[in-house]
Structure 1
Amino acid sequence: MASRIRYFDIAKGIAMICVVLGHSVLMVVPMSGAARLVYIFCFSFHMPLFFILSGYFMHADRPFAWRKESRELLLTYALTAAAVVVLHAVLALALHHDTAHVTGTWLLAALYGSGANTGNELIAMSRSIGAIWFLLALFWAHLLVHIAYRLPATPLWIIGFFALGYLSSRYAWLPFSVQAGLTASLFVYLGCLGKRFDVIGLFRRWPVLWLPSLAVWGLAIWKYSSFGLATNVYGQTPLLSIVGSVCGSLCIIGASQLVDRWIPYLNTALAFIGRYTLAIFCAHLLENDVLPWVTIMSKIQPIIGYQAEPFLIFAVKSVLIAVMALVLYRIPAINAVYFPSLRRKQAVVKG
Structure 2
Amino acid sequence: MSHIKRILVTGGAGFLGSHLCERLVEAGHDVICLDNFFTSQKSNIERLLDFHNFEFIRHDITMPVWLEVDEIYNLACPAAPGHYQYNPIKTTKTSVMGAINVLGIAKRCRARVLQASTSEVYGDPEIHPQPESYRGNVNPIGPRACYDEGKRVAETLFMDYHRSNRVEIKIVRIFNTYGPRMHPYDGRVVSNFIRQAINDEPITLYGDGSQTRSFCYRDDLVEAMIRMMDCDGSFIGPVNIGNPHEFTIRQLAELVVKYTGSKSKFVHKPLPEDDPLQRQPDITLAKEKLDWEPKIELEAGLKATIEWFRNIDMSHYRAPTPNHD
Q: Tell me the TM-score normalized by structure 1.
A: 0.27
Q: Tell me the TM-score normalized by structure 2.
A: 0.28
Is the helix fraction higher in 1 or 2? 1
Is the strand fraction higher in 1 or 2? 2
- The structure with higher relative contact order (CA 8 Å, sep 6+) is 1
